[in-house]
Structure 1
Amino acid sequence: MPLFLERDLKRKGSQEGLKGYFNKSANTILKENYESFSNTKTYDVFLSHSFLDAEVILGLKLALEEKNLTVYVDWIDDKQLNRDKVNARTANQLRNRMNNCKSLFFATSDNSSNSKWMPWELGYFDGLKNKVAIIPITKSISYNDTFSGQEYLGLYDYVIEQYGSLYIRYLNGTTEPFRDWIKE
């Protein structure tokens, strides 16, 4: 199946367990974050998403990591950030993280259109590195790999899974392996 199915990602996320990410005390989270924090850590993918899709996004992160990608997800890697309010501190931290990422995957879902941060992340990263791809999360099985989302998302190539690997589907219909795309 070329696109990413929500129920499969949700299953993967719940199997791994949001419990590992949310059932910790605030002190434990701050201590872990302090000990693992690095301004120089690099990632293959900055995963732009709606926090309302946390279980699905955890599953997507795990699926991408199974393909040997390093994936940044803000509420996992920077638990101390305040996602409820748009503020300069959070924006600066996200900019720093995006500077250390090779690409941005914009995870579309029913919730993504309501996100305050996703359009900002998309625009910033597109201007910064021009390595943005949409990663469609669908509710039903599709036997083709076409995607249409919000109008402005049609300006971007998108991610598909093919033969067990990730590919970028260009707007002209051609594909390229993710690892080749990221090197350009």
Structure 2
Amino acid sequence: MKITLIENVLYKYLNIFISDLMDILKRLEDKESTLDERLKRIINEDSIKEISENDSRVIVNILNIILKLDQLPTEQIRVSVLERHGNDIFLLTSKELGIYDKSEIEILDQVRVYYQSRLIMMLTFKFKKYFNRSRYDVFLSHSSIDAREIMGLKLLLLYEHDLTSYVDWLDDYQLNYLRATQKIISIFSEYLSEKENSQLYNLEVSFERENFIKEYSNEEITEKILKALKNSDNFFYIDSKNSRYSNWMPFELGYAQAQLNKPIYRILIQYKRTRRGSLKYSSFLSDIQLIEDIDRIVVFLIFGFQYKN
């Protein structure tokens, strides 16, 4: 799957996803209202009555800030970035995010989407009790470094194919930004109010405290992964330049294949440029069905048939 397609999906559906979350919260005043099918796939309907007024206010405030990031003056930010970090910052950022042949404005837009995606991930993690589901159509096995791409695939499956997907934000997610990207993100904060920055800071601190100070044992992590695998109907292996370094992905694949006999498919992230040999796949992936047309395979997933070329 071409990286440009994933980027386009992010641009198209990210704000729709945020708006849907806000729509859910607006319905809190009417406890008898029912959610439509699309919103049910974002949040556990039974948890609507459990959302406290304080939690609702915090979530809405963060979502509004995420939306506000789209309104920040891109040209002013570009000038500030150049003045502070020089011309090389955009080259370094494009390499970190795996994007090439982009203008400085386009790179800033990519960083913005990356940042928005990450904030949404932290928000859903902080309020995970409201967003947990019991079953999923697809388990997305991925490297945590590919957070931006995974968010794009998750939204693609949800909004274009009405399929839910499980993404392991809890056990395989790294807090640290990439260095060059972080420098740009830090300048975004200068265009937000002190109150807004404080809210984002509190979100990050909360995420860091719960996700990193509390260490899960290997048994606890394994138990979480196995439960998610068992409760997912299909398995997608997201094959990227970063998946080569994941310790969990081969384990997830092996269990889904050998123990659960799940339908398994490989999605190859196709970058515009790659270093020679950087995407040479491991031998254990050679027998896994490669997905090149996600629209075709979804038909098979919906009707429960094994996909064949």
TM over 0.5: same fold?
yes
Does the aligned pair in 1 maintain the 2:234–2:263 contact within 8 Å? yes
- In the TM superposition, what is the alpha-carbon distance from 1:129 to its structure 2 partner? 2.4
- In the TM superposition, what is the alpha-carbon distance from 1:140 to its structure 2 partner? 4.0
User: 5 Å matches for 1:21-36?
Assistant: 21-23=117-119, 32-36=127-131
Corresponding residue of 1:150: 282
Corresponding residue of 1:179: 302
Greater helix proportion: 2
Tell which has more relative contact order, 1 or 2 (C-alpha 8 A, sep 6+): 1
Distance 1:7 1:91 in 2: 34
- In the TM superposition, what is the alpha-carbon distance from 1:67 to its structure 2 partner? 1.4
Give the counterpart of 1:72 among 140, 159, 166: 166
- In the TM superposition, what is the alpha-carbon distance from 1:25 to its structure 2 partner? 11
The change in CA–CA distance for 1:77 and 1:102 in structure 2 (over 3 A counts) is farther
Distance 1:152 1:132 in 2: 13
User: 5 Å matches for 1:6-155?
Assistant: 6-13=3-10, 16=14, 17-23=113-119, 32-38=127-133, 41-65=134-158, 66-75=160-169, 87-127=218-258, 128-140=260-272, 149-155=281-287
1:130-162 per-position Cα deviation (integer Å, ceiling 9, x unaligned): 311111111149xxxxx9732211111122316
The change in CA–CA distance for 1:135 and 1:35 in structure 2 (over 3 A counts) is same
The change in CA–CA distance for 1:45 and 1:90 in structure 2 (over 3 A counts) is same
Corresponding residue of 1:144: none
The change in CA–CA distance for 1:24 and 1:134 in structure 2 (over 3 A counts) is closer
Count of aligned positions: 162
What is the identity, as a one-letter code, of the residue corresponding to 2:302? Answer: R
- TM-score w.r.t. the length of structure 2 is 0.45
Greater strand proportion: 1
1:76-112 per-position Cα deviation (integer Å, ceiling 9, x unaligned): 7998666x98821111011111111001000000000
- TM-score w.r.t. the length of structure 1 is 0.71
Distance 1:46 1:29 in 2: 17
- In the TM superposition, what is the alpha-carbon distance from 1:10 to its structure 2 partner? 3.2
Does the aligned pair in 2 maintain the 1:103–1:129 contact within 8 Å? no
Does the aligned pair in 1 maintain the 2:143–2:242 contact within 8 Å? yes
Does the aligned pair in 2 maintain the 1:75–1:81 contact within 8 Å? no
Name the Cα RMSD after superposition: 3.5
1:2-47 per-position Cα deviation (integer Å, ceiling 9, x unaligned): xx11133134336624545533797x65551123334xx1111000
Does the aligned pair in 2 maintain the 1:33–1:77 contact within 8 Å? no
Residue ranges of structure 2 left out of the alignment (5+ in a row):
15-112, 173-206, 274-278
